[in-house]
């Protein structure tokens, strides 16, 4: 359980690549059940921030807390437990090309070494059903899938360990408008059914309007604005004005 504290809390995060500063004294607090759209210009460090929340990369300064626990805590059992409480959908799906749909979804389950193959089969079929697919898709290889199906399989894999926190990197990138809308509706339904907290990087206004309850604007190496969609619409900031332009009403 998440308890009463925030699901994610970043305190004074600083990140640099060589001489280039990406984040400086960045703070962000995300509560349980929020769906946060993370916006920012190219090179602002959005995906890097997701990687730091995921624990794939450590910031040079500051701390990342998930469910009240510090990701830098040396307790390996705690680290493993935290990672089981979150799922990640990478941009373009990032499925293992040499593994079938079934084996892609089964991969995190098998890594646990905690259940037999019969239970893994049942769970994989359950996750497939959750994303609108079925057992007949299991033997297919990633190269045989449409873009929309790749996203659904990747989402099923992200949900394999029944996480409480879901991270999405450009979830509708590469999809046509109809498939994008269907995927947004799928994620929204799953969020409501499972009570997920969601953080997503997106450049798509329709995805933002269809999913996000809150918006975080990454600019000038920090979170320059954070609030509900209505609150962000009132923010006088060059990135907010430039990003939404005349389309601000889409978020209302």
| C-alpha to C-alpha distance for 125 and 131, rounded to whole angstroms | 10
Could you tell me which residues are beta bridge partners of residue 30? 8
pTM strictly above 0.85: yes
| C-alpha to C-alpha distance for 87 and 155, rounded to whole angstroms | 9
pLDDT for res 1: 39
Cβ 149 vs Cβ 133: under 8 Å: yes
Mean pLDDT within 231-248: 77
Label residue 111 by pLDDT band (50, 70, 90): confident
Label residue 2 by pLDDT band (50, 70, 90): very low
Sheet holding 86-89, edge to edge: 86-89, 165-169, 197-201, 35-40, 214-219, 222-228
- Residue 197: C-alpha distances to residues 21, 66, 133, 154, 223 (Å): 29, 12, 23, 18, 19
Across the chain, mean pLDDT equals: 89
Identify the residue whose tokens are 């947004």: 184
Task: State the pairing for strand pair 197-201/165-169.
Answer: parallel
What are the extents of the domains in the chain? Answer: 94-162
C-beta neighbour count of 172 within 10 angstroms: 26
Mean pLDDT within 149-166: 93
Mean pLDDT within 188-210: 91
Mean pLDDT within 27-35: 95
| C-alpha to C-alpha distance for 221 and 12, rounded to whole angstroms | 11
């Amino acid at each position: 359980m998440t308890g009463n504290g925030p699901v994610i809390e970043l305190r004074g995060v600083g990140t640099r690549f060589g001489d280039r500063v990406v984040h400086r004294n960045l703070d962000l607090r995300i509560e349980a059940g929020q769906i946060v759209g993370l916006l920012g210009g190219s090179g602002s460090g959005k995906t890097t921030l997701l990687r730091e929340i995921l624990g794939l990369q450590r910031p040079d300064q500051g701390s990342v807390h998930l469910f009240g626990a510090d990701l830098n805590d040396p307790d390996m059992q705690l680290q493993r437990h935290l990672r089981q409480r979150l799922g990640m959908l990478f941009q373009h799906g990032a499925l293992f090309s040499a593994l079938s749909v079934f084996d892609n979804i089964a991969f995190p389950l098998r890594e646990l070494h905690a259940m037999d193959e019969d239970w893994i089969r049942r769970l994989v079929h359950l996750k497939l059903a959750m994303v609108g697919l079925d057992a007949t898709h299991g033997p297919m290889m990633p190269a045989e899938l449409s873009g929309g199906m790749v996203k659904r399989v990747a989402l099923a894999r992200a949900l394999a360990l029944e996480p409480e926190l879901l991270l999405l990197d450009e979830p509708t990138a590469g999809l046509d408008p109809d498939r994008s809308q269907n995927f947004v509706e799928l994620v929204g339904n799953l969020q409501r059914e499972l009570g997920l907290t969601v953080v997503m990087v997106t450049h798509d206004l329709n995805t933002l309007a269809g999913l996000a309850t809150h918006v975080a604007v990454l600019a000038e190496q920090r979170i320059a604005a954070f609030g509900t969609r209505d609150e962000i619409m009132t923010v006088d900031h060059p990135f907010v004005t430039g990003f939404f332009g005349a389309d601000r009403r889409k978020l209302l």
